[in-house]
Amino acid sequence: SQQGEEDPQALSIQEGENATMNCSYKTSINNLQWYRQNSGRGLVHLILIRSNEREKHSGRLRVTLDTSKKSSSLLITASRAADTASYFCAVPQGGSEKLVFGKGTKLTVNP
C-alpha cells in the first residue's frame, strides 16, 4: 500500500542549526501534508503542499515537493529546543480519502 516514509528515523542537532527531513511515497498524489507530534500527544498540522506546487513556506518551515522523484522535504531553519518532536508526512492513499502516515522522524534539538 502507498505510504509516506520519512528519513532519517532520528535526528539530533544543536539549537540554531537547520533540520532537514525527507519523505518518499509510492504513487501519484494530489497533495502531501506534514504534521508534528510532541511526546505522544495529538498531531499538529504544519503544511499542505499540492501536487502543482514545488515549494511552500510557513515561518521557519520550508517544504519542497518533487513529484518526479515522489519525494518531499521539510526544512526547519534556526531550530529551537521547542522544535523537539516527531515529524510525519501524510499522503492520500490512491483513489481514496484516506490519509496514510509514515513512521516519522524523531527530531531532538539540544539547547
Question: What residues line the site for other proteins (CB under 8 A)?
Answer: 30-31, 33, 35, 40-45, 48, 50, 88, 92-93, 96-104
Question: Measured at the alpha carbon of residue 85, what is the angle toward residues 109 and 58, in degrees to the nearest 5?
Answer: 90
CB 90 to other proteins: min, Å:
8
The span from the CA of 60 to the CA of 74, in Å, is 10
Residue 60 or 106: the one with the smaller Cβ distance to other proteins is: 106
CB 97 to other proteins: min, Å:
4
CB 86 to other proteins: min, Å:
9
Residue 50 or 80: the one with the smaller Cβ distance to other proteins is: 50
Residue 58 or 110: the one with the smaller Cβ distance to other proteins is: 58
Query: In this structure, what C-alpha cell is assigned to residue 98?
Result: 484516506
Beta-carbon contacts of 29 under 8 Å, excluding residues fewer than 6 positions away, are: 51, 67, 91, 92, 94
Is residue 40 a contact partner of residue 52, using CB atoms and an 8 Å limit? no
Residue 43 or 85: the one with the smaller Cβ distance to other proteins is: 43
